[in-house]
Structure 1
């Protein structure tokens, strides 16, 4: 009940501020009308650019959007800032009517509250011998008017939001252009991530497996040329150890490229392999009632593997916690370590993860204050 009353009072305060804003909007509307009349005969080239009237309307529309976000509890326009030029001017020129309506409704609410308060103080000031029935009827009528007015305040707030959404939301054409830009950016990020991954694989093969194979070849050559059977046997033993190490490193490279456990046991099994291979303890929690799509599982796995590797190498953490869960159409992966913090989201590793996640229209957030902890969260759509 208390939260309901607080919510209603916040909305009423927002409507009151909207009513006070109506005077400024009426002035802007008159000024914009005079400006349109003054520029009626000019060509589009002569009117090109943002005039003070348009700039003022855009600033005022942004101020109103922030008012609604603060008092109504949500962003009604659905955009980070008002659109430039005429859409913002059209919004400001129309919104003053809603502001005046909000003032009328609030005035009715005050009148209803005044009449309803007769039940409290009317017994002391009203002649009960002459006006008892009138006082009671007026008080209950005031309560009814107050109730209707509070519903009207909520309706005015909804009208306020819908008006902002109508004028300030991007058009279908602009939404399509923005979406095309996002897809082009994510595609470029995927290409760059694949390129970086190829370079990493080449570096691992060159610095690891290839060096092992070169050493193995040299040991076998020395064993063939050794005249002493004992020396030859010792070289063969070393060559056998090198071959075993080469196999281990080759498996590691293949595991980092794509783990077989992801196809055989799903994301939970792949995350268990990450925990087993880590050099520090990893606490794992995987709650997946519905199986996510293979692409989402693969991206979640790579995020977890890279985040755990970074924690082992750079954070000085003693414990890493990996949590994966699916809520509806969203797969959420959270990796938290108790290290020193200070992770750079623009670093090559985390930037590559962000590109992988963006390719699926997901989001990657990195919270790593100095002193820790570091929390990396990936949210992946599973539609």
Structure 2
């Protein structure tokens, strides 16, 4: 009921505005022939269009873009005044019907003939009241359907004219794709440089240390000392294998192919030095591209929480449906993370590459929440 009243008020305001819009369009059409006056005409049209946009948003719950020019605003007003005129006609019919109903009701209770004719009491006037009642119900139904139709037209006309055209949307989409492609290339290059740095500073250094320990073992004359060096070499080899495994997981975890996102995230939680809770609630397995981005968002967020935020607990939540996957990572660390930071900016580029939305909420002192919304279609 509240929604219906709000919509009716909005349509009534639209009916009143239609007369002002029609007058503006008719009065300013001759001015379009003067080049110097067009800008002022378009500016006035945009002002009226903004009033309409605010009316639609408040009363009809219809949001429209403000990204349109004065010419499109004038075109919108030219069509909108016709729709508003239809709404005004519906309201006139409703008012006429309401007045007629009150007149007939007063005639019935006063004993006068309903709508004129023979007085009540003749043999054929018993059907007057049911006939008028049924006719009133029919008129109410037609009036309600008329208001619904005007509201639908109002929304469609605004959607058609307010906002960028299809050509503008296409150009913007091409620009977005070109930008995202460049960002993906940059993110891949950053990831390659980081992998190379990890190999050079981690695995390579351990292999050098392993070679040195083995060399000392070969030169040692003491069997006990040689055995101790061999044990050190064994420990170094195990650590080198662990570092190499970490690097390969950062390149691409094989668990994504074999078990999917849930198994990969479970492995991530098991390998973490900080307790990680996983809440996975996807009805079906998403595509490979979405799984890859979701995993790396979670992996990088967990790594940042451990290294930079000093978190003691981390939570990973994966929810969604057939059209959208939402990955949310929370931690109780120090906070202060910025989406423009080194690691997080790379994640933002990864998410943007699949038309996703990446947000970071990390006030000073924590907690930190990192969320990625990834479309599946």
Q: TM-score interval w.r.t. the shorter chain?
A: 0.7 to 0.9
1:292 aligned counterpart, secondary structure: coil
- 1:300-359 deviation line (CA, Å, top 9, x unaligned): 111111122233334454433323244123333232334454432222222211211222
1:103-252 maps to which residues of 2 (within 5 A)? Answer: 103-113=88-98, 127-130=109-112, 141-252=135-246
Distance 1:294 1:215, change over 3 A: same
Distance 1:99 1:316, change over 3 A: farther
> Which residue number corresponds to residue 324 of structure 2?
330
How much is the aligned-residue C-alpha RMSD, in angstroms?
2.9
Residue pair 1:112, 1:143 contacting (<8 A) in 2 also? no
Distance 1:347 1:18 in 2: 48
Distance 1:34 1:180 in 2: 38
Distance 2:252 2:202 in 1: 18
Query: TM-score w.r.t. structure 2 length?
Result: 0.85
> Which residue number corresponds to residue 30 of structure 1?
26
1:279 paired with 2:273, answer yes
Aligned residue among 19, 39, 44 for 1:56: 44
Residue 92 of structure 1 deviates from its aligned partner by: 1.8
- 1:23-61 deviation line (CA, Å, top 9, x unaligned): 43234313431311334xxxxxx89xx712212322332
Residue pair 1:11, 1:154 contacting (<8 A) in 2 also? no
Distance 1:14 1:144 in 2: 24
Residue 198 of structure 1 deviates from its aligned partner by: 1.0
1:106 aligned counterpart, secondary structure: helix
1:51 aligned counterpart, secondary structure: helix
Distance 1:222 1:371, change over 3 A: closer
Distance 1:217 1:369 in 2: 47
- Equivalenced residues, count: 365
Distance 1:73 1:272, change over 3 A: same
Query: TM-score w.r.t. structure 1 length?
Result: 0.84
1:345 aligned counterpart, secondary structure: coil
- 1:232-252 deviation line (CA, Å, top 9, x unaligned): 333332222222111111111
Residue pair 1:90, 1:167 contacting (<8 A) in 2 also? yes
Stretches of structure 2 that go unaligned for 5 or more consecutive residues are 115-119, 121-127
> Which residue number corresponds to residue 260 of structure 2?
266
Residue pair 1:113, 1:143 contacting (<8 A) in 2 also? no
Distance 2:342 2:286 in 1: 27
Distance 1:29 1:299, change over 3 A: same
Residue pair 2:210, 2:237 contacting (<8 A) in 1 also? yes
1:15 paired with 2:11, answer yes
Residue pair 1:19, 1:100 contacting (<8 A) in 2 also? yes
Greater shift in the superposed pair: 201-210 or 100-109:
100-109
Residue pair 1:108, 1:146 contacting (<8 A) in 2 also? no
Residue pair 2:32, 2:41 contacting (<8 A) in 1 also? no
Distance 2:309 2:251 in 1: 24
1:333-372 maps to which residues of 2 (within 5 A)? Answer: 333-339=327-333, 341-369=335-363, 372=366
Question: Which one has the largest radius of gyration?
Answer: 2
Residue 126 of structure 1 deviates from its aligned partner by: 6.7
